[in-house]
Amino acid sequence: MHLERRKKPVSALLDKTAGYVRSFPRPVWLLVAATCVESMGRFMVVPFLSLYMSGAGVGLGTLGLVLGAAPLANIVFGAWGGHLSDRWGRKPVQILGVCISGLSMFGFAFAGPNPAILALLNFLNGMTRTFYRPATNAALADHCPAARRSEAFALNRISLNAAFGLGPILGVAIFHSSPQAGFMIGGSLNLAVGLFLAIAVPESAPARVAKGKISLQSSGGDAAVPEASAWKELLRDGGFWVWTAGMTLIWGAYDLIQSFLPLHFRDSGIPLEAYSAVLATNAFVCVFFQLPFSRVLRVAPIGFSAGFSKILFVAGFAGFAFLRSPLLLAGAMFVLAIGEVWGSAVQTRYIPEHARPALMGRYMGLSMVSELGRAVVAPSAGFLMEAAGGSSVFIMAAGLSFAGGTLLYISGKAHDKRTIL
């Protein structure tokens, strides 16, 4: 009897978990799995790209310009990628993105120290964010009713952050032995994701689904919008552009964790393994806290959480600037990561709640303009680090986070007022 009583809570937990899994459409889990594998391949090599190029003899200023090429691709093609995902469908755009990115990783393995070639390859590597990410986010919004979108985006972020934690741990060992092998493995995983999307994931774009006479929960009968009026509506949406400006500053600061934090650690005499531990801390927080935060905040006002969560970004970046103990640096990342899951729980809701379904892909794609932050901040950080050291770079990141959080608060609060009315 005692043994049976002990088994019941376990059985109940398993049943509850299975019920929760079944509560989402199957394509949501397929997309989450694709994101995990794609991100695993990328995070095995991208955080060490700056070290790889520095070791090949690329100067810090030039290195910043090379790293800025990927977000430049996002800016140039982001709106186009979102537009194509509305017209062609989500799948073709997702597949195009991961395949171009995968092939560029193969290129890194053989490029050598030529900055022009490295910049071109990093530009192509940016296609993952330009095409795959907006189309995937739009597909998740397509498949989920509004009340479940925050949780679906949280699950996708959990898979991404699990890869963000595990990928660099694997990457450290590969980087020490053969950086080229890391690029080959990462590229292979990206190409495998393209094949998986082609075979397993159904199409969900409202315009494409309407042609096939399939009904989705979120299509809302809003399947087609004339091009001129669609772009006019987007360009006149002041609240969206204030939001995008805030995200531009936030992404510019956050990207420094992948690009210049390992260089700052190296120059400060902090072992590279401590950098992997810092990323693992971020992954731990995002994996175990993202879903609870997203469930609690799934219908909460956006402005407050989006804005005030960035105070924790400020504290975390200040820690990177001034702390040298690996344990304290992990603590700084813990604080920053709590701000990340708190803010992202509502930030992922903004565009799906703000945009009409037929314009979802365009909004998702145009939001990639926020990559301008990464394109500008990375080169600026390279020259700043060369002139004033790594601490100055992360003081700058703290300032950018505060300014970005202020803009998100202003736009999010305006959105909340319209929703209430």
Token duo for residue 323: 């702390």
- In three-state form (DSSP H/G/I as H, E/B as E, the rest C), the secondary structure along 115-131 is HHHHHHHHHHHCHHHHH
Token duo for residue 207: 């315009």
Name the DSSP class of 378. Answer: H
Distance between CA atoms of 218 and 224, rounded to whole angstroms? Answer: 14
Local confidence pLDDT in tens for the 421 residues of the chain: 454 555 566 677 677 777 778 888 899 999 999 999 988 888 787 766 777 777 667 776 777 777 777 777 776 776 676 667 777 888 888 898 889 888 988 888 888 777 888 888 888 887 666 788 878 888 888 888 777 877 888 888 888 878 877 777 777 777 777 777 888 888 899 999 999 999 998 887 766 665 554 444 444 444 455 566 767 777 787 888 999 999 999 999 998 987 788 888 888 888 877 888 898 898 888 888 888 888 888 888 999 999 999 999 999 999 999 999 999 999 999 999 999 999 988 898 888 888 777 777 777 777 777 878 877 888 888 889 888 988 999 999 999 999 999 999 999 999 888 766 5
> What count of other Cβ atoms lies within 10 Å of the Cβ of residue 268?
15
- What pLDDT is attached to residue 78? 65
- What pLDDT is attached to residue 420? 60
- Number of alpha carbons in the 13 Å side-chain half-sphere of residue 87: 12
- What pLDDT is attached to residue 214? 42
- CB-based contacts of 327: which residues, under 8 Å, 6+ apart? none
- What pLDDT is attached to residue 219? 42
- What pLDDT is attached to residue 227? 61
Question: Closest by alpha carbon to 52, among 6, 102, 121, 101?
Answer: 121
Residues 163 and 258: beta-carbon distance below 8 Å: no
- What pLDDT is attached to residue 401? 96
- Number of alpha carbons in the 13 Å side-chain half-sphere of residue 390: 21
Integer-rounded Cα Rg, in Å, for the chain is: 21
Instruction: Output the pTM of the full model.
Output: 0.68
Distance between CA atoms of 25 and 22, rounded to whole angstroms? Answer: 7
- What pLDDT is attached to residue 407? 97
Residues 146 and 352: beta-carbon distance below 8 Å: yes
Distance between CA atoms of 327 and 323, rounded to whole angstroms? Answer: 9
